[in-house]
Amino acid sequence: MVRLVYSIIIAICIPFVLLHLLLRGIRSPEYRSRRLERLGFFKAPEQAQDFWIHAVSVGELLAAEPIIRELQTRYPAKRITVTTMTPTSSALVSKLFGDSVYHVYAPYDFPLFVGAFLKRIRPKFVIIMETELWPNMLHGAQKAGCSVVLANARLSGRSARGYKRFLLLLSWLFD
């Protein structure tokens, strides 16, 4: 029920988010050229991806770098997709990993977009960096049979108190 209400709120916000993306694309072409990726529509690799690393921005990506390198060392035949949300972090993926990983912008957290993304990537294992807990992403990954791990997550005392207030609403998210 909570995820349904959340998804309805996201649906109401989508036209404004798309307008913002359009306006941002006028000033910054890197936002315009890959805007459909944020809706889950892109040319995906032909093979299913073994690992999906979700690192929203540069900080999360830098924290994910040693994990990605270790996965590449331990499982050289496995395919890795890295998702980010900003052109800066996208450029950093290219700089750090070149073509050794597949990069795509993370879809906005709406069931249709997440479903389209998962259908194209077909990951087996998801690593979410820090506390980027997106309800529809988690639900979609679970529904697709993916194992999900939260890596490098830190929770301040203040945040813990905030989560505690909404524990009944959020308990499904942490299951």
> Comparing C-alpha atoms, which of 143, 7, 121 is closest to residue 54?
121
The whole domain housing 135 covers 2-174
- pLDDT of 113-172, one tens digit each? 999 999 999 999 999 998 778 889 999 999 999 999 988 877 777 877 776 776 666 666
Could you say which of 37, 60, 130, 132 is catalytic? 60
| Residue 84: pLDDT band with limits 50, 70, 90 | very high
Instruction: Give me the number of domains the chain comprises.
Output: 1
For residue 58, the domain's CATH number is: 3.40.50.11720
In the residue annotation, 46 being an active-site residue is answered as no
DSSP letter at 39 equals G
Instruction: Output the CA torsion 85→87→89→94 (10° steps).
Output: 120
